[in-house]
């Protein structure tokens, strides 16, 4: 049970607002129930989600950065 003791001694940086369901019930429940393995999986999923967004943005930037295809020639008017 040393793993449980190490997990219980972690300090958490969030504050609990009085009367808030998430702060008073959900967060403490998750802190007690989630193992470190579960936390790692969810952290990795957040990282992969952000990498996916970055990929979408990179593709869009590449599309916008391409030279426009020649749709005609520029003719100076006198």
Question: What confidence score (pLDDT) does residue 51 get?
Answer: 98
* Nearest of 40, 16, 19, 18 to residue 28 by alpha carbon: 16
Q: Is 19 left (phi over 0), alpha (psi -120 to 50) or beta?
A: left
* 68 assigned to some structural domain: no
* 43 assigned to some structural domain: yes
Distance CA 18, CA 21 (A): 9
* 46 assigned to some structural domain: yes
Question: What confidence score (pLDDT) does residue 7 get?
Answer: 45
Query: How does pLDDT run across 6-59, given as a tens digit for each residue?
Result: 444 455 555 666 788 888 888 888 888 888 898 899 999 999 999 999 999 999
Residue pair 16/23 in contact by the 8 Å Cβ criterion: yes
* Nearest of 44, 42, 16 to residue 29 by alpha carbon: 16
* 17 assigned to some structural domain: no
Question: What confidence score (pLDDT) does residue 70 get?
Answer: 63
Which residue segment(s) compose the domain that 51 sits in?
35-62
Tell me how many domains the chain contains.
1
* 22 assigned to some structural domain: no
* 72 assigned to some structural domain: no
Question: What confidence score (pLDDT) does residue 25 get?
Answer: 86
């Amino acid at each position: 049970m040393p793993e449980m003791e190490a997990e219980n001694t972690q300090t958490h940086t969030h504050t609990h607002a009085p009367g808030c369901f998430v702060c008073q019930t959900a967060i403490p429940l998750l802190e007690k129930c989630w193992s470190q393995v579960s936390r790692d999986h969810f952290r990795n999923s957040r990282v992969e989600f952000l990498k996916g967004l970055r990929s979408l943005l990179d593709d869009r930037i590449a599309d916008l950065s391409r030279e426009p295809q020649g749709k005609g020639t520029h003719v100076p008017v006198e």
